[in-house]
Structure 1
Amino acid sequence: MFNSFFRAAIPAAILMAAAACGQSDLSQLEDDSASEVAPVAGTVSAEQKIKIVGSSTVAPFSRTIAERFGATTSFGTPIVESTGTGGGFKAFCAGVGPGEPSIVNASRPIQDAERNLCVAAGVSSITEIPLGYDGIVVANAKEGPLFDITKRELFLALAKDIPDGQGGFKPNPYMMWNEVNPSLPAKPILVLGPPPTSGTRDAFVELGMELGALEIPELAALKESDAEAFKTRSHTVRTDDKWVDFGENDSAIVQSLVKSPDAIGVLGFSFLEQNGDRVKGGLLGGVEPTFENITSGQYGLARVMYFYVKDQNIPLVPGLAEFVVESVSDGAAGEDGYMIEKGLIPLHEAELGKAQEAAATLKAAATATP
């Protein structure tokens, strides 16, 4: 129910999907508080704490909110674990109860198979709440070459198999970027990216490689004749060490890019923002990955970040409803919220209002529970 305004603001292809983890700098809380509730002394057992799993792209934002929430309310600081979107849904859907995750962060929408997994384990009521926008960037070290690449070129460089020009496919022969397009750097293809369990990986192949494949006549024809075969061809990344699965850790990708200036990395925009002194973002079809270009829809690798709440845990986990309300409050996720400094691109006003309504509904339900 949150997607209508977003479709109007950013092309619908963005909604086909949705990286990587990072440790947020939590050493200092800012002066403005995240809640009207004053700190109250007391201890909360681990069993009573809010447990959050999922996307490593969303995790730094959750950690920031969790630290503030724990410091400014009587509730314990939520536990945030970065597992990747796919792994997060698997843990989230394991069951109901205070010992189970109450929230899963996601850098793409939940899939039907994941909903079915939840239902099979008794997790029958879930609320989807958008948190903000994010862009997927192709980044490299500050001293590395400038990349200005198209989606078509991303597919040709990174797909396992490409058209052979005779009606079939062949193993990807490209070893250098300038073999894909002479205007690209004369450097070996080496991409450090998220693994298949990552929502960032899902978004990259759907928003980047799949749409790039559609610009190639043979693959556009394949989609018309066999949509499943096309999806397999356009989503399968090469396995000859040109793409390296780097785990659920964008911060580790950033560190490796600094050490390997010829490599490029696929990571979330927020990590680019936080490490702008060390890495730079490449252009996508001439468009720079900036806050303004992502919100306007000009940058073609953008997505919504979500978190999903296990409604049945609301009466079982102290502070869960209050944490959800804080997560989408104006002070946290609004245009002047404290998460903007962490790289969050805020929802448009109408979308944020809907998210706040959903959070308020959960809190009202918690209040009404005997």
Structure 2
Amino acid sequence: MKSGMTFGAISLMALALVACGKTDLSTLDASEAAPDRPELSGSSEKIKVVGSSTVSPFATTVAERFGATSGFPTPIVETTGTGGGFKAFCQGVGPDQPSISDASRPIKDSEAELCASNGVTEITPVEIGYDGIVIANSKEGPDFDVTKTQLYMALAQDVPNEAGEFVPNPYKSWHDVDASLPDEPIMVFGPPPTSGTRDAFVELGMEHGAETVPAMAALKASDPKAFADRAHTIRTDGAWIDFGENDTAIIQSLVKTPTAMGVLGFSYLEQNADRVKGAQLSGVPATFEMINSGEYGLSRVMFFYVKDQNLTLVPGLIDYIEAFTSDSAFGPDGYLVEKGLIPLSDEDRAAQRVIVEDLKAKLN
């Protein structure tokens, strides 16, 4: 039976968090509070979340509200990148190990094999919404409208010349790639190889762009693996600069370097719209509406992966998962939309709740 926390207790917790600058709890009221809970064995253990820098702002927001309105400690959310998150997530089972890995791409076979080798044999993915990968620059910089083909030609390590022979990328400026583009040096701040954002960028952007280049199309037909290697390999001559798992640092550097471009998640563009702007992709702007409709060509599903074996070992884990997948959080009018989340369809959200109910049933 539920017995609600007092409004005064909720207010004190909310004020303390707001004073620390941790979250905006202005919309909370007593009806959102979780019930009082008995002291559980091991209740000092906190839920540990690792993974994607793109999903991290959403996970952190849910964690802070969860800590403020439930009988459980605020979960620890660590930004490691999708690849780094799965590496940590797959180290073992237990309350001292991460229970959730945020991801901006599906888990790879090699990562699932690492999990299995360490006894992490029960994993459940939960979709939380959509995100767009944007190519952004300073408000003070030129306007860009690029195609995926131009992105491939500008950023690939090796590109075909007029004779169809692969040579080290010779292009120094965007204007060199195509006369319609600004005469600015190719300088792109982007995520490192461990990032799901980078994986999605090369797969959805550069690979699709490479398919339109005759020499690359022929290579794909004759040797798909060689094609993928060439399409996914980003140049290392200084035109692309790895910026770690920190999209905020990319934003700050774009402001300081108006001629540079940056690759980042849409939520960071939206949260910093007063300082940076997104390039159009084949004439389609990087907006909430265009990503939601599927017209913007660099969009992806975001996930979190649950370590099912930790459900009975980590107090509050299922409660946090339910909070994340509630309509008040990831629904079309949920508080995560304010953070830049692009919600799933009604049907897809309902499907995710069925998955969560199946997880909950494992506790019985």
TM-score by length of 1: 0.90
Hey, what's the Cα distance between the residues in 1 that align with 2:112 and 2:154?
34
The one-letter amino acid of 2:194's match is: T
Counterpart of 2:280 in structure 1 is 283
Counterpart of 1:31 in structure 2 is 27
Q: Residues 50-82 of structure 1, C-alpha deviation per residue, up to 9 Å, x if partnerless?
A: 000000100000000000000000011000000
Contact 2:137–2:262 (Cα < 8 Å) also in 1? yes
The structure 2 residue matched to 1:342, chosen from 330, 333, 339, is 339
Hey, what's the Cα distance between the residues in 2 that align with 1:167 and 1:285?
25
Counterpart of 2:148 in structure 1 is 151
The one-letter amino acid of 2:131's match is: D
Hey, what's the Cα distance between the residues in 1 that align with 2:77 and 2:174?
38
Counterpart of 1:191 in structure 2 is 188
1:31 deviates by 1.9
Hey, what's the Cα distance between the residues in 1 that align with 2:40 and 2:116?
34
The structure 2 residue matched to 1:217, chosen from 198, 214, 217, is 214
Hey, what's the Cα distance between the residues in 1 that align with 2:59 and 2:335?
12
- Cα 1:166–1:250, aligned 2, differ >3 Å: closer, same or farther? same
State the structure with more CA Rg: 2
Q: Secondary structure at the match of 2:304?
A: strand
Hey, what's the Cα distance between the residues in 2 that align with 1:173 and 1:29?
52
1:320 counterpart = 2:313: no
Hey, what's the Cα distance between the residues in 2 that align with 1:149 and 1:77?
42
Contact 1:44–1:76 (Cα < 8 Å) also in 2? no
Hey, what's the Cα distance between the residues in 2 that align with 1:229 and 1:172?
17
Counterpart of 1:296 in structure 2 is 293
Counterpart of 2:59 in structure 1 is 62
Contact 2:171–2:177 (Cα < 8 Å) also in 1? yes
The one-letter amino acid of 2:26's match is: E
1:124 counterpart = 2:151: no
Q: Residues 101-155 of structure 1, C-alpha deviation per residue, up to 9 Å, x if partnerless?
A: 0000000001111111101100000011001000000000011100000000000
1:311 counterpart = 2:308: yes
Q: Which runs of 5+ in 1 are unaligned?
A: 1-24
The one-letter amino acid of 1:289's match is: A
Hey, what's the Cα distance between the residues in 2 that align with 1:57 and 1:150?
23
Contact 2:127–2:301 (Cα < 8 Å) also in 1? yes
The structure 2 residue matched to 1:109, chosen from 98, 106, 110, is 106
Q: Residues 251-282 of structure 1, C-alpha deviation per residue, up to 9 Å, x if partnerless?
A: 00000000000000000000001000000000
Q: CA RMSD in A?
A: 1.7
- Cα 1:259–1:39, aligned 2, differ >3 Å: closer, same or farther? farther
Contact 1:325–1:363 (Cα < 8 Å) also in 2? no
Counterpart of 2:16 in structure 1 is none
* Residues 39-58 of structure 1 aligned to structure 2 (within 5 Å): 48-58=45-55
Q: How many residues align?
A: 343
Counterpart of 2:4 in structure 1 is none
